Structure 1
Amino acid sequence: MAMRREKSEYAIQAVENAFDVLEQFKGAKGSLGITELSANLGLHKNNIFRLLATMENKGYIEQDLNTEEYRLGIKSLEIGRAFLNHTGLLKVAKPILNELMESVNENVYLGLLKNDQVVYVEHVESTQALRVASRVGTRLSPLCTAIGKVILAHYSEHDRERIIANNKFVQHTPNTIMDKGKYVAELAKIREQGYSVDDQEYDFGVVCVGGPVMDYQKKVVAGISISGPSLRMDEKALRDIFVPKIKECSLKLSRAIGYVG
């Protein structure tokens, strides 16, 4: 009988290096440059460049043409979605998102904080003629989005400060919060009330309300949101319809993945 060989004997160094590069983005700021990756991994810049070029060709890495830095690509998101499907979050979330959309008839999203940005991993589209246009894989700032704010509000102070530092306050609309002190106060309010509102802070004319998705450890793992035109999501509609619904459904999804509270 042949002796069973250790799996490490079959390892291919170039493949290991490629995965080492990918793992650098796991806890990183939104993007990384070749010099930083080279220093972190102890690999020559030419090697890093070739690895990035290969992964970019396959869609696992993409380059920001403005900064020339690299970030995770859509294929990496697809792998992440497959894992979420396997672990049950998307499978559990889908019927709850469908139910939420049918009850309010506005776009509904499930989002994660990945590389300090909000990434939509699932959505259910409204049947309204006038509706918000976003898709799975869309990346948005956490500083002025309902999902981003509700996730950050439930993070530790250390993680919150790091993510705020890694993102710039950009004036998307006149309603965008630009002062860090006011923003931190807004997060405290969100944490206390259990939901967030993006009142035309990212897109003028678009209002979003978000709720946290908590796991069995009572840690926030995702957020869900309802997005629609401000003419339908005014102050009264938020109070009477959308806030109660987002709180109900975010709690329902949280309990479905083990949250007790």
Structure 2
Amino acid sequence: MSRAASVLAALGASTSGPMRASDLSRATGLGASTMARLLGTLEELGYVRKLPDTQGYTIGHAILALASAGLNQNPVHREARAPAQELAQRVGLSVNVAVPEGTSVIYLCHFEGHLAPKSHTMIGLTQPIHASALGKAVLLGTSEDERRELLGEGPFPRYTSHTITTHEALTRDLKTAADRGTCIEEQELALGRLCVAAPIREATGDVVAAISISGRLSVMRTQGIDALGEDVIETADRISVGLGMISAVPPRP
């Protein structure tokens, strides 16, 4: 099982398209005969697909079906999909919904407005929880002690000169965000990018996900950060109500 998983992971991580059996052997450290048997089984099950013209392998349709089923079974995805799509169409920018996964957040929804076209989907990709607006919005539901247990004592990985790398700075940023209602990521992951996010809560009031609007720095500023923040808060509240939250959430001490 672990060997098959390593083959699928190598295919998924490929940045050069389909991979030949020899490429997969080098990437996974598995022998040629073992790789041939694994690829034959995975192809039979539909988890990989062999391209006859190049003899290369890609992710198969069965993986796509499983991913689709997993998304459709997720209550956050079900409640967030329509509101997030409507928001992207209205503001013309990228709108993403993500849930926490260890020290990262993983994208469940990704929609593009006319001002932010992309040639790829963000669904299934991850971002660091300390350096993204989505991640910081999820962290609004945590105490500093919980963040230290999750992230360690630091310093956190740095992506640009703007990245928050200490608990002290992160706590200050989250305090400001809690008062404002939104988390802002300005060039913390990538230069020239800005993102504003708000937490999504379930029936208990706990933060279970976050939704964001993101785009080029100049475009986001032209649209107005405050106005976009209001839009993302309203959409987050709509999704939270769909998840069962019907009352105000008292602030955590």
Relative to structure 1, the CA distance from residue 129 to residue 228 in structure 2 (aligned partners, 3 Å threshold; closer, same or farther) is closer
Rounded Cα–Cα distance in structure 2 between residues aligned with 1:101 and 1:136: 15
Helix, strand or coil for the counterpart of 1:227?
Answer: strand
CA deviation vs aligned residue, 1:143-175 (integer Å, no higher than 9, x gap): 110000010121244432222218752332222
* Preserved contact between residue 146 and residue 210 of structure 1 (Cα < 8 Å): yes
**C-alpha displacement of 1:197:** 0.3
- Give 1:142 deviation, angstroms: 0.7
- 1:120 aligned to 96, 107, 110, which one? 107
Could you say what the CA RMSD is over the residues aligned between the two structures, in angstroms?
A: 3.1
Secondary structure at the counterpart of residue 98 of structure 2: strand
User: Percent identity between the aligned chains?
Assistant: 23
Q: Does 1:96 align with 2:89?
A: no
Q: Aligned partner of 1:202: which letter?
A: L
Structure-2 change in CA distance of 1:167 and 1:136 (3 Å) = farther
Number of the residue aligned with 1:142: 129
Q: Distance in 1 between matches of 2:5 and 2:117?
A: 38
Contact 1:146 1:197 in 2 (8 A): yes
| CA displacement at 1:140 relative to structure 2 | 1.2
Deviations 1:183-218 (A, max 9, x none): 111112222322100011111001000011100011
Question: In the alignment, residue 55 of structure 1 is paired with which amino acid?
Answer: A
Match 1:246 to one of 226, 229, 232: 232
Q: Does 1:53 align with 2:3?
A: yes
Please, which of 188, 204, 210 is the counterpart of residue 201 of structure 1? Answer: 188
Report if the CA contact (8 A) 1:59-1:76 is conserved: no
Q: Which amino acid aligns with 2:142?
A: Y
How many residues were matched structurally? 201
| Contact residue 146 and residue 225 of structure 1 kept, 8 A | yes
Find the residue that maps to 2:218 and give its secondary structure.
coil
Give unpaired runs (5+ residues) of structure 2: 14-27, 29-58, 248-253
Alpha-carbon separation, structure 1, partners of 2:154 and 2:68: 24
Change (3 A) 1:228 1:133: farther
Give how far 1:76 is off.
9.2
Task: Give 1:224 shift.
Answer: 0.6
How far apart are 1:86 and its partner, in Å? 2.4
TM-score (norm 2): 0.69
Give the Cα–Cα distance (whole angstroms) in 2 for the partners of residues 255 and 177 of structure 1.
Answer: 32
- Give the whole-Å Cα distance in 2 for the aligned partners of 1:178 and 1:157: 14
Contact kept? 1:112, 1:120, Cα under 8 Å: yes
1:229-260, Cα deviation, whole Å (9 max, x unpaired): 00011287001x21100110001100011012
Alpha-carbon separation, structure 1, partners of 2:10 and 2:71: 17
Q: How does 1:143-222 map to 2 (within 5 A)?
A: 143-165=130-152, 169-222=156-209
Q: 2:76, 2:209 within 8 Å by CA — same for their partners in 1? A: no
Provide TM-score, normalisation by structure 1. 0.67
Q: Structure 1 residues 133 and 171, CA, compared in 2 at 3 Å: closer, same or farther?
A: farther
Contact 1:131 1:228 in 2 (8 A): no
SS at match of 1:127: coil
Q: Distance in 1 between matches of 2:102 and 2:208?
A: 14
Q: Partners of 1:129 and 1:111 in 2: how far apart? A: 18
Mapped to 2, the partners of 1:224 and 1:78 lie a distance apart of 25
SS at match of 2:205: coil
CA deviations 1:86-134 (Å, max 9, x no partner) are 2533222111011111121000001011132111111101222666966
